Each structure stands twice: as structure tokens, then as C-alpha cells.
Structure 1
Amino acid sequence: MAQTRAGRLAPVVEMAEKAEKTAVQRLGHFQGQVRLAQSKLDDLEAFRLDYQEQWIVRGSGGVSGQWLLGYQGFLAQLGTAIDQQRQSLAWHQNNLNKARDTWQQAFARVEGLRKLVQRYIDEARALEDKREQKLLDELSQRLPRQDQY
């Protein structure tokens, strides 16, 4: 009976393993998205730093008002791009956190089902061992005894 219970759970375990595998793939995808978004943010911030250093170099020699307006306008656009990239990174990190939670739940489900199947298998073995022992006991009692006096 317990053996058949373990057998009946096999498709459920298989489906849970498939869901866990899908969750792992999604987790990997979102980890890549976070790395990419972080890399873009790092690039933008490095570019802004370089651009600000140009101001120091160029500004020390004097600049025209038009150049200053262009510099400030571009720096403002760069700041907006950095803010948007930070929002994008936060969005991707949120997706990563959700994917991690989903994977952890799927993993826990698979592990729980595997333990249940193993318990059913262990119960079936124990029952079979009891049956065997009982049969051996009955057979040994049926054998003629040779008493030595």
C-alpha cells in the first residue's frame, strides 16, 4: 500500500521539479538583468564623473557662456538618465527578489515531496520486512523439531 502511495506521488514530484527548474531559470535571468542594469548605472556615473572633471580642466582656463549653458544642460540630462537607471535597477532588483522567493518556495515543495516519498518507501520496506519475518517465523515453527535427549 505504501509503495503504491510513493508511486502515485511520482507525477506530482515530477511536476514540482519542473516548476523548480523553471524558477531557477527565471532567477538566473533576473540576476543577469540586475548585473546589466548595475553595469549601465556604473557606466553612467563614471561618464558623469569624467564630464565633471572636464569642467575643472576647461573651466580653469575660462569658458564662454554658451559652453557653460551646454555643459549644464548636458549634465542635467545625464543626471536624469542616472536617476532613470537607478529606478530601472531597483525594478530589476525587485523582480530578482520575487524570483528568489518563488524559487525558494518551489525548492521547499520539491524537498518536502521527496521526503514524503522516501517516508512512504521506508514504510513499505518496514511492512515487507515484517511480513518476511512473520513468514520465516511461521515456517520455522512448522518444521519438525529434532529434540536431542
Structure 2
Amino acid sequence: MTLSRAKRLQPVIEMAERDEREAARQLGHQQGLVKQAEAKLGELERYRGDYQQQWLSEGQRGVSGQWLMNYQRFLSQLETAIGQQRQSTNWHRDNLNKARELWQQRYARLEGLRKLVQRYQDEARLAADKREQRLLDELSQRLHKAGQE
């Protein structure tokens, strides 16, 4: 009877395995998106650093008012882009954390089901072993009685 309980759980296990695999795939996808967002943010920050270095070089030689206005306008746009990319990166990190939590939940559910099936299988084996032992004991008693007669 306990073995049949384990067999009845097989479709549930298969569904849990599919759910866990899908959650793991989503987790990997989200990790890739975070890496891309972080790389883009890094590029923007490096570009800003290069652009500021250009200001130092040009500033030492003297610049026109027009050049300074263009520099400040572009730097302002660059800061806005960096801020937006930071928000995007944080949004992707939040999604990654949610995907990680979902995967952990699905993994824990799958492992719980596997342990339950294992317990049912162990119980079935134990019950079968007890039945077999009981049969052997009965057979031994019959043989012992038959030998006495």
C-alpha cells in the first residue's frame, strides 16, 4: 500500500521538477540581465570618467564659453543616463532576487516531495521485510512442528 502512495506521487514529482527547472531557467535569465545592466552602467561611468578627464586636459589650455556650455550639457545628459541605468540595474537586481526566491521555494518543494516518496518507499520495504520475516517464522514453526511429529 505504501509503495502505491509513492507511485501515485510520481506525476506530482514530475510537475514539481518541471516547475523547478523553469524557475532555474528564469533565474539564469535574470542573472544574465543583471550582468548586462551592470556592464552598461560600468561603460557609462567609464565614459563619464574619460569625458571628465578630457575637461581637465582641455581646461588647462583654456576653453571657450560655448565649449564649456556644451560640456556641461553633455555631462548633465550623461549623469541622467547613468541615473537611469542605475535604476534599471536595481530593477533587474530586484527581479533576480524574486527569481532566486521562487527557485528556492520550488527546489525546497521538490526536495520535500522526494523525501516523502523516499519515506513511503522505505516504509513499503520495511513492511515487505516484516511480511517476509513473518512468513519465514511461520514456515520455520511448521517445519519444527512437522519434525516433532
Shorter-chain-normalised TM-score: which range?
A: over 0.9
Question: 3-state SS of the aligned residue for 2:61?
Answer: coil
1:31 aligned partner: 31
Question: CA offsets per residue over residues 44-69 of structure 1, 9 Å max, x none?
Answer: 00000000000000010111100000
Could you tell me how far 1:142 is from its partner in structure 2?
1.0
Question: 3-state SS of the aligned residue for 1:63?
Answer: coil
Letter paired with 2:67: W
Cα distance in 1 between the residues matched to 2:4 and 2:56: 78
> Aligned pairs, how many?
147
2:93 aligned partner: 93
Q: Which has the higher helix share?
A: 2
1:19 aligned partner: 19
Question: 3-state SS of the aligned residue for 1:60?
Answer: helix
**Structure 1: stretches of 5+ with no match in the other structure:** none
TM-score by length of 1: 0.97
Question: CA offsets per residue over residues 20-63 of structure 1, 9 Å max, x none?
Answer: 00000000000000000000000000000000000000010111
RMSD, matched Cα: 1.0
Could you tell me how far 1:146 is from its partner in structure 2?
5.4
Identity across matched positions, percent: 64
1:126 aligned partner: 126
Cα distance in 2 between the residues matched to 1:108 and 1:93: 22
Question: CA offsets per residue over residues 56-85 of structure 1, 9 Å max, x none?
Answer: 000101111000000000000000000000
2:112 aligned partner: 112
Question: 3-state SS of the aligned residue for 2:56?
Answer: helix
Cα distance in 1 between the residues matched to 2:61 and 2:148: 120
Could you tell me how far 1:9 is from its partner in structure 2?
0.3
Could you tell me how far 1:145 is from its partner in structure 2?
2.1
Cα distance in 1 between the residues matched to 2:127 and 2:36: 56
Letter paired with 1:69: M
1:41 aligned partner: 41
Cα distance in 1 between the residues matched to 2:147 and 2:133: 19
Does 2:58 correspond to 1:58?
yes
Cα distance in 2 between the residues matched to 1:99 and 1:145: 71
